[in-house]
């Protein structure tokens, strides 16, 4: 049997939250844990690291943009310059959050959209 297109968040020792990856806007490192921001609800803390969660979310269109952030590429509204050398992304409503893009991750973001 193929796995369901859902992901279990480990929100507690005895609790798992079932989420649709399409409802997740971004992942944020929070120490050894990860904050998972959903589009219409508050964020949830998962007990795993950003790297561990990103491995589960990557097949659903997620890309790492910074050492602390990974985003759902389908939820991006804009990629824009920030300062002379930096870049940032803006997420679509209702989140509207602006997140930094690390220089070492910029090429991966362009590649995801077919750019060089």
Whole-number pLDDT of residue 56 = 96
The second-level CATH assignment, the architecture, of 7-112 is Beta Barrel (2.40)
Q: Where are the domains of the chain?
A: 7-112
Instruction: Give the rounded distance of the alpha carbon of 22 from its chain centre.
Output: 11
Average of per-residue pLDDT values in the chain: 93
Residue with tokens 């590429």: 73
Integer Cα distance of 57 and 71 in angstroms: 9
Per-residue pLDDT of 62-76, as tens digits, reads 999 999 999 999 999
What is the DSSP secondary-structure string of 18-79?
EE-GGGEEEEEEETTEEEEEESSS-EEEESS-HHHHHHHHGGGTEEEEETTEEEEGGGEEEE
Per-residue pLDDT of 8-46, as tens digits, reads 999 998 999 999 999 999 999 999 999 999 998 789 999
């Amino acid at each position: 049997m193929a796995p369901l297109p859902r992901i279990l968040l480990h929100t507690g020792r005895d609790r798992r939250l079932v989420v649709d990856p399409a409802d997740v806007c971004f992942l944020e490192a929070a120490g050894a844990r990860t904050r998972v921001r959903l589009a219409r609800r508050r964020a949830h803390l998962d007990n795993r690291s950003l790297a561990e969660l990103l491995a589960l979310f990557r097949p659903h269109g997620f890309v790492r943009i910074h050492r602390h952030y990974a985003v759902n590429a389908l939820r991006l509204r804009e990629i824009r310059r920030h300062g002379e050398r930096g870049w940032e992304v803006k997420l679509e409503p209702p989140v509207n959050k602006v997140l930094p893009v690390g220089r070492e991750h910029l090429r991966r973001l362009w590649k995801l959209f077919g750019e060089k």
